[in-house]
Amino acid sequence: MAQDEFFSRLGGRFPPHGVPFLEPGPPPAPGQARRLALVLAYDGQAYAGWQVQPGAPTVQGQVEAALRRLCGHPVRILASGRTDAGVHALGQVASFDTHSRLDLATMARGLGALLPSDIHLRALGAVAGDFHARYSALAKTYDYYLWPACGASLFLRGRLWAHPRPLDLAAVRQALALLPGPQDLLALASQGSEVQGTTVREILEANLETWPWGLWRVRVTATGFLRHVVRNLVGVLAQVGAGRLGPDDLSAMLASGQRRQAGPKAPPGGLYLSRVYYRPWPGDGQGPEIRKG
């Protein structure tokens, strides 16, 4: 992994998005609805999360307000998933329907002008009528950045977790190695999670990359997540790295459905929704194999 990857992401060099955009075609007939999709990157520090909330600034609210001005009618966008207050995105995907005949290039320029500087439109295009940003997704990757014993973190606040103490790299990697495969994530979900059906998800990858100067990146790709799972997982990993828990304690928590003596969840500023996957592998070769079914 290139040592400058973290800062290159902050500088706008994002991972691939893989949204199945359609080839450009003729403009829609008057009154004809079409389905479009957006790929967004955003800094979540100023927002109360993705989802619209009364009296609070949200990413969804900002994007919908801009689209309403451009399309000339109210627009409701559906995201691949909700990010919480302070959480960032490198590749959030959202879909919406509109009967506006505005061409895509003009709409993209308009969004670029109307959206605040902390929300960036990466891509806009037409998608099939049955495409749904959330339900068509096969998997998602979240990256969590932390810097053990980094010292003063004045200029990194809200971008990563400046953990105050050293952490045992080998122990954390050992705990992560136990995760790939089907896992019941109930123990890592925060109370109040809205879950319909099973809480079992397929963990496709769970690994830790490090930089020589001290930064860590925990990457988890799964077919789905529950509320606060990644932040709670990183909180447990910090306890493992500090020697308060053993690597096998994470497996025991998952098996029991209870998160005991796990410490607090990791702060939101280190979490990034990195990528949403819509095609099974073999495909673009940018991620683990994903199969439908």
Residue spans per domain, the chain: 5-23+34-126, 139-277
Averaged pLDDT for residues 113-128: 97
For the segment 65-87, the average pLDDT, to the nearest whole number, is 96
185, 256, 263 from 227: Cα distances, Å: 10, 18, 17
pLDDT at 96: 98
Q: What is the structure's pLDDT at 43?
A: 97
Q: Residue 289 pLDDT > 60, yes or no?
A: no
Q: Would 5-23+34-126 and 139-277 be classified into the same CATH topology? A: yes
Residue 284 has pLDDT above 60, yes or no: no
Annotated catalytic residue, options 84, 97, 118, 184:
84
139-277 maps to CATH 3.30.70.660: yes
Mean pLDDT of 213-234: 95
Per cent of the chain over pLDDT 70 is 93
The pLDDT tens digits of the residues spanning 137-165 come to: 999 999 999 999 988 777 888 999 999 99
Q: What is the mean pLDDT of the chain?
A: 90
Is the pLDDT score of 288 beyond 80?
A: no
Could you say which architecture CATH assigns to the domain 5-23+34-126? 2-Layer Sandwich (3.30)
84 catalytic per annotation? yes
Q: What is the mean pLDDT of residues 87-116?
A: 96
Could you tell me the pLDDT band of residue 287, with boundaries at 50, 70 and 90?
A: low
